[in-house]
Amino acid sequence: MASRRRSRRSIVEEGEDETLQEAPAVEEADIGEEEEGSEHQEEDAPEDEPQTKRRRVNGKATSKETDEEQRFPPGAIVRIRLRNFITYDAVEFRPGPNLNMIIGPNGTGKSSLVCAIALGLGGRPDALGRQKTLQDFIKDGKDKASIEIELKHRGRGGNVIIKRLFKRGEKNSNNWKINGDVVTERVLKERMASMRIQVDNLCSFLPQEKVSEFAQLNPRELLTETQRAAGNSKLTSWHEELIKLREEEKKAEASVADDKKHLENLESRNAVLQRDVARYREREAVLRKIDVLKMKIPWVKYEATRLQWMAARQVKADKRAAYAEIEQRTAPLRQEYETIHEESRQLTQDVNNLSRKYQEKLLSDTGLKGKSDALQAAETENDDLSRQLSGIQKREKEKMKKLEVARADVLKVESAVQTLQTQLVENGTLDDEGGMGGIAGGELTQLQEQIEAKNRELREIGDQAAAFRQQQSEIQDEAGTYRNERERRYNELQGLDNVRNQKLELLRRENKDCYDATMWVKDNQHLFTKKVFEPVCLEINAKNPVYAEALEAYIQRGQMTTFVTQTEQDYHLLSREMIDNKRLRINIVMFSQRTLESWRPDIPRDHIMRLGFDGYLLDYLEGPPEVLSSLCQLSRIHNIPVASQELRNNTDIEQDRRITAYISKKMSYKVRRAYGNTAVTASQLREARFLNASVDMSRKTQLEEELERLHSKIENCAQRSKAISVDEQKLRTQDKRLREEKAVFTDRKKEIQQQKLKYDKLVQELDIKRMRLRNLETEGPSTEEQELQIKKAIKAVNIKRAKLALDYQRIQRQALEVFYARTLASLRQMALAARVQDNEQRMREADAELIQAKAELEAAVEEFDALKVKATAELAAAREMLAGHSDEDRDDYLRMYPNESLEELENILAEQEARAEMINQTDAGVIDDFERRAAEIARLTAKMQGIQNKLAEWKTKIDRVKGKWEPELTALVSRISTSFSAAFEKIGCAGEVKLSLDEDYDKWGIDILVKFRDTEKLHQLTGQRQSGGERSVSTILYLMALQELSHTPFRVVDEINQGMDPRNERMVHGEMVRAACQTGTSQYFLITPKLLPDLEYHEAMRVLCVFNGAYTPETIDPKIYLARRLARCG
């Protein structure tokens, strides 16, 4: 935590001609007076502003430029003013146009100036790697802060003044001004881009926290940053365009390759079917002729029928005319026939009327038949009465006979009942009187008791069997539960085994060199003296996924892909095979001098746990001890405390000087202490890539133990089920025996019940026969009365017969009179019949002629109609045959066989059908496949041609863009390499910068190759191979090589000389002075806490010394201060 004590700040500028003025210290309360105004109000206080030669009007510089001001490049920083920023109350300083050396002890606020430049010109807080939010840069105890930067501008309006005001406690409280006008952040960034200011480019703006990241830039990222910093503004757009075009080209080439492979497959498959298709098409040609013939023949048949129909139509007309002539000729004869027949009809009617009257006299109910029927009925009635009299006498005799038979049947049944009753009494079914009283002690009762006893035993066995079935069901359910649980545990175990493959696939996608080396090490472990561990990411796992992000935050990506060896011999063997021979870019380490147990944390665990931490990073990481020991040496994970929850006592933690870094929830904190001040840098943890899919080994062991336990339980269930099955079998045997014994008793019971049933039926039958006997004895009235009644009825019937005889004689006389009249009429009818017969003979002759003519007419009509129907059907058939065919088929119909007869056409059809039968028939599906593939071949050919055309266009575009981009990029890298190599030669080392080419433009990069010892070869600059000082030398010399090529107006490098040995620092300083102090170069800011004595000085340099501390006086007299310092130096 930064100190909350009141600070005094002032800056002494050396090398200026102006007289140094006394600068009053700034109290914290000075800025508080502005809080009453608008948040957009200018925060300038006249009493706080140092005296300068400039005059300001409305925030714009208006004075005439001095010689020094004219040396400022456009966009360079002319002035910086801060209020309440980090440790500053208020400060303003003016850098020079060339090299600015900002020096001062650690913790005095040098890096704060770097942060101010970045934030004041549109940079993001998280890009600096210090505080998390913009509000974290406000001085403790203050509510708001401001940054004001004046940039050189020679255009209209003079210099550009950028001002940024931000407040505490208000989200997104961030205001921008340009020359006093409020603007948006987007407008500001557009203005910065127009002035070529790039605070997010590490090649032009390298804060302290990003120095190590610069050396860790991969070649692709370094190329991107270099193009932005030193290249033509179009280089980046050309590069992006090439990447996009190449991606499209790759996709098209892949598509063409797939289509070509598919096309070759289709063509080869169609070639196999070529002969079948030829035979099929030959057969199709024959079938086509057959179709034409089948279309032709119906039309020829129709034409022949049509001609016959026309001839039949003429015959029908002739026959109709002949029939009409005969009909006209026989008309008078028909008239005479009608007259005679009318006379005959009238006479016949008279005869019929007389015959009807005669019949009425004979047959009607009142005539002879009616009277005869009445007489017959009277006689019949008399006979019936006589028979009834005889029947009564006969039934009396039969009744007496039935009584005798009924009495005999009753005696017979009574005897059978008595015999069966005796048997039932003997076996106890009945008592002596025939009642059911004997059942209580009889055999039937004993049988029933024995059956019920067996039933009870069977129910008991059934209950036991049900209990066994219930136990079996419960055991099966229990075993099913165990099996389901075992399946879930097995699936979870399989998921854990798949984690390593997921890591390996991620490694293959992100680092192909490391993946290839991993495969080689896996296959060649036998070449090493001890086990060579695969990349760290494959060997380690997070014990708890909650700490995966924290672990990956301190185990950097390069360390994640590092191979760990245990002997020097294995180290050299692996380096030679992978790096020297295969040219793979991988990291290899060998730490054999310490074991994992030797890495003890500086602070006891109980102490950090009292502060709220869960433990150290090492506590939540598992893996081989050798790999974990290497990580302790590389990343010091044994000394980094971690908490899964957000800590609230940050002040207590940061006061413990032994804690230099810690992790709280999703944030990583680094603590720096110098001269009594504490600075904390916070950064957001990135999402884990490798350890988020770690294998929980304890969980895996637990799953294996649970699977073994579940298997034992399932076996136990099977044994219990088997034992119950044995008991069930015993019960089934006992049940079968009991049922057999019960069946014996049941059969005997049924036998006795059958005898009792037979007895009951006989008793019932005896009752019925006794009832019938009683009915016979009591039925019917006296027969004497019946005989008297019948005799009276016979006398009445005889009187009726006499009357009917008299009526019959009278009606007979009337009938004779009607018969005589009918006879006379019949004679007249006979005479007329002769005339009718003669007329009918003549009519028959005329009718025969007419019938003959009509028959011939009907035959002609029938033939005409038949031919018409036939012609219509043949026409419809012919039209139907044509309807389903195309115009091409109809053309063939008209063209082929124009003059052949029906017989010739039928012969040709038979010949073609025979020929079609001789040709082997090919499956139509095969032909469909052939034609479908042929269509697909045509489509793919056209598609490939279109893609080839596009490829040609893309290639032309690529060549055109590459023709502009590559030469300029090559020239740029060549110039950088020349300057870089020359700078390295001056310090007695070797360096080279070269392009890394690839077929894919997104893989192009810049390789920085350095050599610091004569015994070494040139090696690529990485974050692991070189030391920190070597990386610093390489970084600063690369940035200096960009100096002459860069289009950025200024560069900032913070503490780049840390870690350099004195010799390199002196030489690098000299090169920096010579490069940065030339006319026309960019403005340069070098921040450092210390410098070597007797370094080279140039008059264009400006040295800015930062004085800061708890005991700094409120005011400083620069003259007195310098005089005292000079006196001390002698």
Residue identified by tokens 């080869």 is 268
pLDDT for position 37 = 38
Residue 760 has pLDDT above 90, yes or no: no
Domain end marker among 834, 852, 870: 852
Contact 279, 920 (CB under 8 A): yes
1060: Cβ–Cβ under 8 A, 6 or more apart, which residues?
1029, 1032, 1033, 1068
The larger pLDDT score, comparing residue 1129 to residue 658, is at 658
Same domain (yes/no): 306, 354? no
Q: How many Cβ atoms sit within 10 Å of the Cβ of residue 13?
A: 17
- Mean of the pLDDT values across residues 276-305? 74
Task: State the distance between the two ends of the chain, measured CA to CA, in whole angstroms.
Answer: 40
Half-sphere exposure of 858 (CA within 13 A, CB side): 6
Looking at per-residue pLDDT, the higher value among 633 and 50 belongs to 633
**Same domain (yes/no): 90, 203:** yes
pLDDT at position 1067: 76
Ramachandran bin of 1082, using left for φ above 0, alpha for ψ from -120 to 50, beta for the remaining angles:
beta
Is there a single domain that holds both residue 124 and residue 252? no
Reported as type and span, the H/E element at residue 993 is strand 990-996
Residue 1068 lies in a domain: yes
Q: What is the DSSP-derived secondary structure letter of residue 742?
A: H
Percent of the chain with pLDDT over 90: 8
Q: How many CB atoms lie within 10 A of CB 227?
A: 26
Pair 948, 214: CB distance under 8 Å: no
Question: Can you tell me the distance from the alpha carbon of 587 to that of 563, in angstroms, rounded to the nearest whole number?
Answer: 6
Q: What are the structure tokens assigned to 594, written together?
A: 């310490």
Give residue-wise pLDDT tens across range 122-150: 888 876 666 678 888 888 888 899 999 99
Sign of the dihedral defined by the CA atoms of residues 918, 923, 924, 927, in that order: negative
Mean pLDDT of the 292-301 span: 75
Nearest-angstrom CA–CA distance, 278 and 268? 16
pLDDT confidence of residue 129:
63
Q: Are residues 50 and 101 in the same domain?
A: yes
User: Could you give the CA distance from residue 162 to residue 1084 in angstroms, rounded to a whole number?
Assistant: 19
**16 plus 90 within the same structural domain:** yes
CA 933, 936, 939 angle in degrees (round to 5)?
A: 155
User: What pLDDT score was predicted for residue 533?
Assistant: 93
Determine phi and psi for 1004, rounding to 5 degrees: -65, 145
- For the chain, the C-alpha Rg in angstroms (whole number) is 65
Helices 783-883 and 331-363, interaxial angle, to 10°? 160
One domain for residues 260 and 341: no
Structure tokens at 258: 């797939």
Give the strand pairing for 60-61 and 56-57: antiparallel
Quick: pLDDT tens for 559-614: 889 999 999 999 999 999 999 898 999 999 988 778 888 898 988 988 888 888 99
Nearest to 569 by CA among 516, 530, 535: 530
Scan for tokens 């359910």, then name that residue. 477
Distance of CA 294 to the CA centre of its chain: 56
**Cβ neighbours for 445, distance < 8 A, ≥ 6 positions apart:** 428, 439
pLDDT class for 231, splitting at 50, 70, 90? low
Dihedral angle over CA of 1110, 1113, 1114, 1117, nearest 10: -150
* Rounded average pLDDT over 244-250: 85
Q: Which residue has the tokens 């980094």?
A: 640
Q: What's the CA angle centered on 1103, arms 1098 and 1105, to 5 degrees?
A: 160
With CA atoms as reference, report the closest residue to 1035 among 1047, 1023, 1018, 1046.
1023
Q: What is the pLDDT of residue 741?
A: 84
> Considering only CA atoms, which of 712, 715, 691 is closest in space to residue 560?
691
pLDDT at 528 (0 to 100) = 93
Q: Residue 531 above 80 pLDDT?
A: yes
* pLDDT of res. 22: 35
- Residue pair 1065/1057 in contact by the 8 Å Cβ criterion: yes
- pLDDT at position 53 is 39
Residue 968 CA neighbour count, 13 Å, CB half: 17
Question: Is the Cβ–Cβ distance between 100 and 1102 less than 8 Å?
Answer: yes
> Is there a single domain that holds both residue 256 and residue 303?
no
Does the pLDDT value for residue 779 go beyond 80?
A: no
- In the chain, the percentage of residues whose pLDDT exceeds 70 is 83
Q: Chain-wide mean pLDDT for the chain? A: 78
- What are 85-113's pLDDT values in tens digits? 888 888 898 999 988 989 888 777 888 88
Confidence of residue 923 (pLDDT cuts 50, 70, 90): low
Residue 163 has pLDDT above 90, yes or no: yes
The token pair at 1012 is 């610091």
Do residues 63 and 134 share a domain? Answer: yes
* Three-state secondary-structure class, residue 369: helix
933 and 912 in a single domain? The answer is: no
Contact 90, 109 (CB under 8 A): no
| 317-325 average pLDDT score | 84
Higher-confidence residue: 1007 or 39? 1007
- Report the C-alpha gap between 659 and 643 in whole angstroms: 14
Q: How far is the CA of 822 from the CAs of 829, 836, 980, in angstroms?
A: 11, 21, 163
Q: How confident is the model at residue 890 (pLDDT cuts 50, 70, 90)?
A: low
| pLDDT above 50 for 29 | no
At position 704, the amino acid (one-letter code) is E
Establish if 1041 belongs to a structural domain.
yes
Going by the DSSP 8-state scheme, the letter that residue 533 receives in this structure is B
Alpha-helical segments (H) within 47-101: 67-70
Boundary-marking domain end, from 852, 876, 905:
852
For the record, the structure tokens of 364 come out as: 């009607």
Query: 795 burial class (0-12, 13-18, 19+ CB within 10 angstroms)?
Result: exposed
Residues 253, 247: Cα–Cα separation, whole Å: 10
Inside any domain, residue 170: yes
Q: How far apart are CA 492 and CA 704, in angstroms?
A: 10
Q: How confident is the model at residue 641 (pLDDT cuts 50, 70, 90)?
A: very high
Mean pLDDT across the stretch 782-802?
Answer: 74
d(CA 593, CA 389): 153
Read off the pLDDT band of 64 (50, 70, 90).
Answer: low
The boundaries of the domain holding residue 48 are 10-216+1023-1128
DSSP 4: -
| Predicted local confidence at residue 60, as pLDDT | 44
Full-model pTM: 0.39
Domain membership of residue 346 (yes or no) is yes
Question: What are the distances in angstroms from CA 398 to CA 269, 356, 634, 776, 785?
Answer: 109, 54, 139, 11, 19
- The DSSP result for 670-720, as a single string, is EEEEETTEEEEEEEEPPPPSSGGG---HHHHHHHHHHHHHHHHHHHHHHHH
Separation CA 647–CA 666 (nearest Å): 11
Question: Which DSSP category does 871 fall into?
Answer: H
- Amino acid, res. 455: N
Residues 110 and 188 in one domain: yes
Q: Which residue would you say has higher pLDDT here, 819 or 644?
A: 644
Report whether pLDDT(896) > 80.
no
Residue 81: how many CA atoms within 13 Å on its side-chain side? 16
The CATH number linked to 155 is: 3.40.50.300
The dihedral of CA 708, 710, 713, 714: what is its sign? negative
Low-confidence winner among 209-223, 387-401, 470-484 (lowest mean pLDDT): 209-223
* Residue 27 pLDDT grade (very low, low, confident, very high; cuts 50, 70, 90): very low
pLDDT at 1039: 75
pLDDT at 32: 33
Alpha carbon of 821 to those of 36, 814, 876: distances in Å?
159, 12, 73
Q: Is residue 451 part of a domain?
A: no
More confident residue, 752 or 533: 533
pLDDT in tens, 173-187: 788 999 989 999 888
Planar angle of CA 812, 815, 820, nearest 5 degrees = 135
Q: What is the pLDDT of residue 575?
A: 92
| Token output for 591 | 């730490």
For residue 627, tell me if it sits in a domain: no
The two structure tokens encoding residue 829: 């009818």
pLDDT for res 563: 94
Alpha carbon distances (Å) from 126 to 144, 560, 571, 681: 19, 24, 39, 10
More confident residue, 835 or 510: 510
Residue 104: burial class (beta carbons within 10 Å; 0-12, 13-18, 19+): buried
Q: Are 132 and 1075 in contact (CB under 8 A)?
A: no
Q: Nearest 5 degrees, angle CA 568-CA 571-CA 572?
A: 90
> Has residue 479 been placed in a domain?
no
Give the number of domains in the chain: 4
* Residues with Cβ within 8 Å of residue 125, at least 6 apart in sequence: 119, 131, 132, 133, 134, 136, 137
- For residue 573, the model assigns a pLDDT of 93
Residue 741 tokens read as 């014994």
pLDDT at 58 over 70: no
Residue pLDDT, tens place only, 925-960: 667 777 787 888 888 888 888 888 888 888 888 888
Quick check: is 512 in a domain? no
Asked if 1064 and 1018 touch (Cβ cutoff 8 Å), the reply is no
Q: What is the pLDDT of residue 234?
A: 80
| Maximum average pLDDT range among 489-493, 814-818, 859-863 | 859-863
At 439, which amino acid appears?
I
Distance between CA 943 and CA 745 in Å, rounded? 94
Which pLDDT score, from 0 to 100, does residue 56 have? 43
pLDDT band at 527 (very low <50, low <70, confident <90, very high): very high
Tens digit of pLDDT for each residue in 706-758?
A: 888 888 888 888 888 888 888 888 888 888 888 888 888 888 888 777 877 88
Cα–Cα distance list, 308 to 203, 299, 705 (Å)? 108, 14, 102
What are 432-462's pLDDT values in tens digits?
665 654 444 467 778 788 888 888 888 888 8
Residues 99, 188 share a domain: yes
Q: Which of 808, 835, 852 is the last residue of a domain?
A: 852
Within this chain, do residues 16 and 163 fall inside the same structural domain, yes or no? yes
Give the number of other CB atoms < 10 A from CB of residue 183. 15
State which of 293-307, 525-539, 653-667, 691-705 shows the largest mean pLDDT. Answer: 525-539
CA dist list (Å): 265 to 123, 278, 420:
58, 20, 101
